[in-house]
A and B are shown apart, each in its own frame.
Chain A
């Protein structure tokens, strides 16, 4: 089945230790998104790629970076995780074709714990 896959599902890291979360998709969608969701809050968009075109949200901290080496994969790098970065990180995709109103398909998320 076509889907959005995130690995790992649970990640524990130490304060300040870099961590990379990965997302892959078999939907062949143009757009991939990374969201941060803290407890009892709505998902907050960090950035998204339209194909290779990177779009950063204005309030996304510099500590968060992303890479999209090909259509299928997108990575979220947290360079120096702080305690406040503990959250669920959601990857989503959409077709993103002009003129279409496309829903986003979400992966299962990676829950990040920072010790």
Chain B
């Protein structure tokens, strides 16, 4: 059975801290890994990772994939209260239908 595991499940930090969110996976037919941010609404897309070792960066957020060890990390530097959200990791399997297998998500709370 395909499995995506995120850790920790929840995290509380203070503004300015740096956090690392983890996502490991065991799937057949891996194609790519996606990170989403979900506040009290639908998930919004952050990154898509397909190749190992290539860091994707967007402002204070960055992510990297390790296809040998089957995991990805999402880093957030200089956290702000607006970063408080659930961060979802999802794996895309091969096939034209781009089905996603989601992890349970990591709830990040950033305190002022």
Contacts and interface: CB of A to CB of B under 8 A. Distances in A.
A42 B88 contact: yes
B96 A96 contact: yes
Nearest to A104: B100
Interface in B38-59: 41-45, 48, 50
A94 interface: yes
What is the interface of chain A mostly: helix, strand, loop, or mixed? Answer: loop
A78 B102 CA distance: 23
Query: Could you say which interface size class chain B belongs to?
Result: 20 to 34
Contacts, number: 60
A37 B34 CA distance: 18
A50 B105 contact: no
Contacts of B107: 40
B44 A102 contact: no
Interface residues of A, number: 27
Contact of B100 (A40, A45, A50, A55): A45
Contact of A48 (B36, B99, B104): B99
A103 interface: yes
A101 B42 contact: no
Contacts of A107: 42
B53 to A, nearest CB: 17
Interface of A: 31, 33, 40-45, 48, 50, 55, 90, 94-98, 100-109
26 contacts: A31-B96, A33-B99, A40-B107, A42-B105, A43-B100, A45-B99, A45-B100, A48-B97, A90-B42, A94-B98, A96-B96, A97-B96, A98-B96, A101-B32, A101-B98, A102-B92, A102-B98, A103-B45, A103-B48, A104-B45, A106-B36, A106-B43, A107-B42, A108-B41, A108-B42, A109-B42
Given A42-B102, A42-B105, 13 more contacts: A31-B96, A33-B99, A41-B104, A42-B103, A43-B88, A55-B97, A101-B31, A101-B92, A102-B92, A103-B34, A104-B45, A106-B36, A109-B42
